[in-house]
Structure 1
Amino acid sequence: MPDSHITKNALSAAMKELMAKHPMEKIKISDIAELCNMTRQSFYYHFKDKYDLVNWIFYNEFVAKINESSEVNGWELIEDMCEYFYENRGFYRNALRVRGQNSFSDYFNEVMHPIIHSRLKDIIRDDKNSDFYATFFADAIRVSITRWLLEDAKKTPQEFVELIKMAVTGLAYKLIKESNEIDS
């Protein structure tokens, strides 16, 4: 493993440790560097700020693995994402509370939207409105996951994904049924 990656992993471990105890906005670069026995300059050599570090953690622990696996379908992606967030819920709840430029919330939207969108678009590719539908559901899923985490993830990932599935399929069933009743 190259030295750069070792250093980034040390900084990410320090950030996770600090975020387990403190709100992200209270953590300073000097706190992260000190925990790794590094200088602030060492931190800035690898990351532009603490938000960049949090985004790097998410990318390396989750997104890179998802991008490597083209076989993961839409529901599996959502299940995997919910499992990952649930296992790391304290960290990501803390990260999602921060809003603004370079925030994890913005990064999550920026990175996950195209991934969810592409997986959903594959499912509904034969429909002329597939782009609209994929965007609609990608947005809904991202917002739902964010709310679930910020509300302390009281449901397990399996329960949460089942609710999403029921919301999608149950609503579709109800709309089809109502449409058929109107047409009769």
Structure 2
Amino acid sequence: MVGKPTTECPFDWGSMDFAANLKRAMADRKMTQADLARATGLSTAQVASLVNAKTKDPRLSTVTKIAAALNCSSAELAGEAASRVSNAYAPVDPADEVGRVRTAGEAKMSTAPFSPIEVALSTSMKELVRERDFDEVSVTQICEEAGVSRRTFYRHFLDKYDLMNRTFYHDLCVAVPHHDDWVCWDYMPELCRTFERDRAYYRNAYRVSGLNSFREFATARMYPLLEHDLAGCPVNRHAREAFIVQFFNMVYDNVQDWICNKPTVTADEFARDLRYHAKVFCTVLAETAARDPKE
């Protein structure tokens, strides 16, 4: 019996140890199997099969997804010399960062309200993170605080990072209504009020760096808003996309500084000043850039 034809063939890895290279790349980036599943859209079973060498010849599309999630090349996974990448946030090639942001932003999260169990786990995680760094909080501690078994936890969330990111989404995206006629600055006061209502939690949440960090989450979710606001700019798409990511990093750093270091400044004051300063700086930069260059 002839099988149904397919337009994609498995990638020919020959004798190269894909599983070993994948494990090494994940370890370099401090990335778990759950992290990779979330970043690629693959199931945890598929990722486990790849990591444990049960899948001998992954499809090229699968390898491409994994390489993008790990911010490496397919050649690195195939066995060529690999550069070591730190998990901590650092400036990167804007084109690479735009790709990661766009991929993360396309990941869909449920807009349904949390179930009572999910509320209990989210509340427990927040209470623990208010008192210590997120890296020091374990799934076991979250479950004990919430009175929920670990088995039940994993029925609802992939890991503690999945819990944190879905909590961000429900607190900052679902709870704040979307308006078609708003620009990104219109959302800033309400987002800042959310941060202000739970400064202790967000102060420690901001300390999580690299993959699964609040920076990664916030950039991915704000990117579409900024992209919409700048859609009419008469510049090429790549330049616009790179500017959006770099501009948001600047805004993010200002918000982090406010949350962590300026407890006496209210949310409304900070949002007002941030918008005013952005307007003034951009106006002055536009005026100076419009001048004829000096010989």
Q: TM-score, normalised by structure 1?
A: 0.79
Aligned residues: 179
In structure 2, C-alpha distance between the alignment counterparts of 1:112 and 1:151, rounded to whole Å:
23
Name the SS of the counterpart of 2:206 in structure 1: helix
TM-align CA RMSD: 2.9
2:235 paired with 1:128:
yes
| Contact kept? 1:4, 1:46, Cα under 8 Å | no
Deviates more, 1:126-135 or 1:166-175: 126-135
Q: 1: CA distance between counterparts of 2:134 and 2:219?
A: 19
- Offset from partner CA, 1:1-35 (integer Å, 9 cap, x none): x9971211111111112222232222211111112
Q: Is 1:163 matched with 2:270?
A: no
Shift of the 182–88 alpha-carbon distance from structure 1 to 2, 3 Å rule, reads: same
**1:44 corresponding residue in structure 2:** 154
In 2 relative to 1, CA 47–35 (structure 1 residues): closer, same or farther, beyond 3 Å?
same
Residues 132-177 of structure 1, C-alpha deviation per residue, up to 9 Å, x if partnerless? 5544433322232223223254422222222222322222343455
Aligned position for 2:194: 84
1:97 is paired with a residue of what secondary structure? coil
Unaligned runs of 5+ residues in structure 2 are 1-111
- The match for 2:123 is 13
Other structure's SS at 2:115 match? helix
Would you say the 8 A contact 1:83–1:157 is kept in 2?
yes
Unaligned runs of 5+ in 1: none
| 8 A contact 1:97–1:150 mirrored in 2 | no
Q: What CA distance in whole angstroms lies between the structure 1 residues aligned with 2:291 and 2:114?
A: 63
Q: Is the 8 A contact 2:219 2:248 kept in 1?
A: no
CA distance in 1, matches of 2:213, 2:278: 29
- Percent identity (aligned): 25
